[in-house]
Chain A
Amino acid sequence: MTSTRSATLFALALLAPALIYILTIVAYPLVDTIILSFTNASLRPGYDFIGWANYERIFGAGNFTEVIVRTFIWTFFSVSLKMIIGMAGAVLLNAAIPGQIVFRILTMPPWIVPMAIGIFMWGWMYNGQFGMISGLLQNFGITNGPIAWLAYGETAFWATIITDVWIGVPMVTIYFLAAMQSIPRDLHEAAWTDGAGRFYRFRRITVPLMVPAIITMSLLSLIATFNSFDIIWILTQGGPSGSTTTMIIDTYKTAMGSRRYGEGAARAVVISLFVTAFCIVYFRAVRKLQQGEAK
């Protein structure tokens, strides 16, 4: 194509709608968050700049570091379980057995159903008196009395993780399955000819070749999980007594519950800093993987 200048102009014209849209709806609010975090904005019209006071307050209160630590633990377990169960699911669905296609379709519902609906169903399952989990455990005589999973800090923490895993697993499974199928079959056949068993082939062929997919998926999953809001909000609203309050929930409560916009914005900025750090790791990893592929 000729004349790079007109080509550039044309490209920019094509990009303009997307650019303007993102700048207005994402970039501007991001900048606004940073500005707000240095103010005492609330429901009242107008606000004053108060310097670092919001940051001093949230880090001075002590429970904010607790929230950060909790968020990381919650995210760590959720992402790890998604990866492990997703990998197991991919292996199972990859086996050449009748019914394969049906099983794959049956894996998808948690991903495509509105999240809130799936979460309502889990909410009922966790009910101590009438829910399925407590009910079946009692019917089989494993536990004596009812267990209200969402009523205690410890169990509510794990209950929200399990629901988050449930929503994330289909995507991870299908992604891993696709990565698994792109491994050349010749490799497996060659190893098989040499007498390598199934488990050995999985460990020495499948897993090493899936490392890029595993890294990509776990980072994407990490970012999504870190930002997870709906599940905790619908199941526990951060309770009981703050045991499931992650950073997002904490920010939402401060901003939308107490209407302390300035302080909420400061909390949002801290989240954004963590997310930016994940981003940088992600881009680095992707670049490294691509370079590795090129060699």
Chain B
Amino acid sequence: MSDVARSTEVAAADSKASVQTQPKAKARRGLWSASRPMIDRYSLLEVIGLYAGIALFLFFVLAPFIEGFLVSLKPLAQLFSTPYSFIPKNGSFAAYFSMWESVPALGMHIFNSFFISTVVTAIVVAIVVPAAYAFARFNFTGAGLLLAGFLAVNMFSGAVLLIPLFRLMRTLGLLNTYWAMIVPGAAFLIPSSVWLLRTYMMRIPRELDEAAWVDGASRLYTLRRVILPLAMPGVVVVAIMTFIGAYAQQFIFALTFNSKTEFMPLPVGLFAFFGKQEVIWNELMAASFVGILPVMIVIVFLQSYLVAGLTAGAVKQ
């Protein structure tokens, strides 16, 4: 845990590029230890208030997951019975096994979610790295306007442009393929990624480019061999932010541009649990948890990058 803590601090400090140093390890000192700075000491009442506040806050954030998990443990008959009981009686993991039979394509849906997000991330990174470099280094005419134009894209959601996008996908023959979800999905993630990586690249000293230039390196070579290695942490942040964006927001394009079961990502595939008579809620919840688990585990380890990505984009610049 201390590793995570340290990397958070490093990432946070780095993202701010500030000269001030954070006081290290304040969280790891005991609440009432003498080494604790006076300003960080709380009275007993304050400590109780803080923990109560955090408990309330986290309950709001996590309640749906708690409820979802408990639902996944309850037999269907108990779910649809009154009075309500929060804790499952004779709960079991049965739904985690039966769900694969109820919705045979479930494994495919989980894979599709992951696959679509991965391809989107690859496309976005490949497009964004050169674009961000162009915005970070070259002051050509209209650069500011172009950047503003890119950012304006951010403001339009896919939902507004759904009709022409639908027609465009039909013309291109992409309806009911993976590409119908990947192509528009990537487009709306490019602008903020350009912004993020540009901010990062602007912090790399210009002298490095100039030194490479003097040594006779071509511009492309400079980007590939000098800038890219230095910008790698920024690229990683952009890749992770893009992946999260592609993963968390895949719904409307998948709902509208694809009707083939084998290509559906998890959020749309889950509708298969909505039967004609009733919704198989316990299996729906079980499938949700199994589906998101791999990504969740990865994210816990990468959370410092998420914080860095969120802060670098906007606090400064």
Determine if A118 and B156 form an interchain contact, defined as CB atoms under 8 angstroms apart: no
Determine if A11 and B54 form an interchain contact, defined as CB atoms under 8 angstroms apart: no
Range of interface residues on A (Cβ < 8 Å): 35 or more
Known: A85-B60, A116-B270. 13 other contacts (CB 8 A): A8-B141, A98-B27, A98-B28, A103-B54, A115-B248, A170-B61, A184-B20, A192-B38, A227-B160, A229-B252, A230-B252, A272-B160, A279-B155
Most buried by A among B155, B252, B295: B155
Most buried by A among B18, B57, B163, B295: B163
Would you call the interface of chain B mostly helix, strand, loop, or mixed?
A: helix
Range of interface residues on B (Cβ < 8 Å): 35 or more
Would you call the interface of chain A mostly helix, strand, loop, or mixed?
A: helix
CA distance A283 to B151 in the complex (A): 10
Determine if A227 and B248 form an interchain contact, defined as CB atoms under 8 angstroms apart: no
CA distance A110 to B140 in the complex (A): 41
Contact code string B282-317 (vs A, CB < 8 Å = 1, else 0): 001100100110011001100100110011001100
Determine if B53 and A283 form an interchain contact, defined as CB atoms under 8 angstroms apart: no
Across the interface, name the chain B residue whose C-beta is closest to A118.
B64
Q: Which of A20-28, A49-57, A65-73, A152-160 contacts B (4 or more CB under 8 A)?
A: A20-28
Determine if B140 and A166 form an interchain contact, defined as CB atoms under 8 angstroms apart: no
Instruction: Determine if B65 is an interface residue (Cβ-Cβ < 8 Å).
Output: yes
Determine if A112 and B295 form an interchain contact, defined as CB atoms under 8 angstroms apart: yes
Across the interface, name the chain B residue whose C-beta is closest to A247.
B160
Determine if B130 and A15 form an interchain contact, defined as CB atoms under 8 angstroms apart: yes
Which residues of B are at the interface with A, using a C-beta cutoff of 8 A?
Answer: 1, 4-5, 8, 12, 15-16, 18, 20, 22-23, 26-28, 30-31, 36, 38-40, 42, 46-47, 50-51, 53-54, 57-58, 60-65, 67-68, 71, 79-86, 113, 126-128, 130-131, 133-135, 137-138, 140-141, 143, 146, 148, 150-157, 159-168, 183-184, 186-188, 190-191, 194, 209-210, 213, 219-220, 223, 244, 247-252, 256, 265-268, 270, 281, 284-285, 288, 291-292, 295-296, 299-300, 303, 306-307, 310-311, 314-315
Instruction: Determine if A150 is an interface residue (Cβ-Cβ < 8 Å).
Output: no
Determine if B20 and A185 form an interchain contact, defined as CB atoms under 8 angstroms apart: yes
CA distance A184 to B19 in the complex (A): 10
Determine if A15 and B65 form an interchain contact, defined as CB atoms under 8 angstroms apart: no
CA distance A189 to B268 in the complex (A): 52
Answer whether A132 and B167 are a contact pair too, CB < 8 Å, given A111-B248, A112-B295, A120-B288: no
Shortest CB-to-CB span from A65 to chain B, Å, is: 19
